Amino acid sequence: MKRLKFEYRTEVTFDGSVIDHAFLLRCIPREEARQHLEAYELAVNPETDIRIERDYWGNTTLRGVILPPHNCFGFKVSGEITVDLARPRKLWHPIFSYPTEYTQTSPAMEAFTEKLLAGDESKDGKNALSKALCLMNGLYAVFEYRQNVTRATTKAAEAFALGQGVCQDYAHMLTAMCIYAGIPARYVAGFMLGEGHTHAWVEIFSEGSFYGLDPTNNLMADETYIKLAHGRNAMDCSVLRGGFKGNVSQSQDIFVHVEEIK
């Protein structure tokens, strides 16, 4: 069990004024068996009323609307959380056995998955975790982390064909490959120890429990990972979504810091 301190802030700047700005945030860590939010503080700028709800997957969502003109929007969440992987986990939802448009395999991905599993001792299907680790190791060996070559809407098969991408692409591809191999898998968004940006990884279901796999770093997710949201793909876990009135361009700055409390 680890106790972690976290800070997450995002600042969106517009090059002109916008109005009627509606937004949906998933910026507060989930409350579930593996992690407990001890305390947190939230600030949204410009200030507005916030409605806190849970979505279909149990992720905490914040909804609000800013009506007056403004040229920036931001939020900050900070707090402390306890992560304990020894706690019991819930049963998996059958929907995590089916691909979406973002986690659909291509023939090339299917051939790659079959090749990787052909040499795995657990190919008989008795150990889903071992199979998933084999797939993660193989994907990490051939895929290159590179920014600005994919988009938020890039699908798993498209990223695989490119051979390059970011953590969202790694997570979509591993989810797709696991589902193709008969392993229930879901996409996860959150933070990991250190300083940087939000992160994405995968949780697979094996022998009664979910296990986190981080294909970007070729690691199993441990108690230094904080989950914000999980779902079928990145669209289910988007941290910031919204719309506004105004013909403007925008830029975004993100900062994440996670440290262990001794």
Query: What count of residues does the chain have?
Result: 262
State which fold the 2-85+239-260 domain adopts: Immunoglobulin-like (2.60.40)
Say whether pTM exceeds 0.85.
Answer: yes
Side-chain-side CA neighbours of residue 115 (13 Å): 9
In angstroms, rounded to a whole number, what is the distance separating the alpha carbons of residues 182 and 135? 12
- Going from N- to C-terminal start, the domains of the chain cover 2-85+239-260, 94-236
Q: What is the pLDDT of residue 88?
A: 67
In angstroms, rounded to a whole number, what is the distance separating the alpha carbons of residues 205 and 92? 7
pLDDT lower than 50: segments of the chain: none
> What is the greatest pairwise CA distance in the chain?
61
Q: What is the pLDDT of residue 207?
A: 86
Q: What is the pLDDT of residue 93?
A: 86
Pick the CATH number of 94-236 from 3.40.50.620, 3.40.50.261, 3.10.620.30, 3.40.50.850: 3.10.620.30
**Contacts for 159 with CB less than 8 Å, ≥ 6 apart:** 143, 150, 165, 169, 172, 173
